[in-house]
């Protein structure tokens, strides 16, 4: 991490706090909109999946905004852990509505058990082994982010035109986020 007293560090932290604060706003405003638009056109499970996505987005961006806003070292470390845990939750939360919409039965159930099981393992890892085996975090993030690939043929049959393009863009965006994660200690 950059020196706590450097001007560059504080500028970066302020920019991160502002942009991640906008993520909170998007989650708070966007989640009710998603739920409203899904009313009457899906099962309750699909709306529940959208709610999980929205809540996971708010959790990530709230923890990240706090992490980048706090400068006390003891709280900074706590919020950094929460920020990293939030990544696991957002990845799992992003997959959840797709699973509810496009997979069924045992496939959907097993997918969600594995996905949220990995999020739980990642959470425990960050709580108790934070700072050790950091490459393991990257591996977990990437496995979770791309675990839908084997199920895409099954999902494509039920997806609206153009949906797959957005999924690929999202997957590439998450993967690009790994670059920011592994270079967090370098100034930009």
pLDDT in tens, the chain (188 residues): 445 558 778 888 999 999 999 999 999 999 999 999 888 777 788 899 999 999 999 999 999 999 999 989 889 999 999 999 999 999 999 999 999 999 999 999 999 999 999 999 999 999 999 988 888 888 989 999 999 999 988 998 888 888 888 888 888 888 887 887 777 655 54
- Integer CA distances (angstroms), 169 to 6, 106, 158, in order: 35, 28, 19
Q: What is the pLDDT of residue 33?
A: 95
Q: Which residues contact 11 (CB under 8 A, 6 or more apart)?
A: none
Q: What is the pLDDT of residue 4?
A: 54
Q: What is the pLDDT of residue 134?
A: 83
Report CA 40 to chain centroid distance, whole Å.
Answer: 27
CA torsion angle 77 81 86 88 (round to 10): 150
HSE at residue 39, side-chain half, CA atoms within 13 A, is 6
Total-model pTM: 0.88
Q: What is the pLDDT of residue 7?
A: 79
């Amino acid at each position: 991490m950059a020196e706590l007293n450097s001007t560059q560090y504080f500028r970066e932290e302020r920019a991160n706090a502002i942009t991640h604060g906008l993520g909170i706003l998007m989650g708070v405003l966007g989640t009710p909109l998603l739920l409203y638009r899904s009313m009457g056109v899906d099962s309750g499970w699909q709306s529940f999946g959208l709610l999980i996505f929205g809540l996971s987005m708010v959790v990530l961006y709230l923890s990240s905004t706090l992490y980048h806003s706090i400068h006390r070292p003891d709280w900074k470390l706590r919020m950094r852990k929460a920020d990293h845990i939030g990544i696991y939750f957002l990845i799992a939360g992003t997959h959840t509505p797709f699973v509810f919409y496009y997979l069924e039965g045992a496939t959907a159930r097993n997918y969600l058990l594995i996905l949220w099981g990995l999020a739980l393992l990642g959470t425990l890892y960050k709580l108790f082994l934070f700072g050790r085996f950091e490459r393991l975090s990257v591996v977990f993030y990437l496995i979770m982010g791309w675990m839908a690939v084997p199920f895409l043929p099954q999902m494509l049959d039920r997806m609206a035109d153009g949906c797959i393009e957005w999924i690929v863009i999202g997957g590439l965006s998450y993967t690009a986020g790994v670059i920011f994660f592994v270079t967090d200690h370098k100034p930009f």
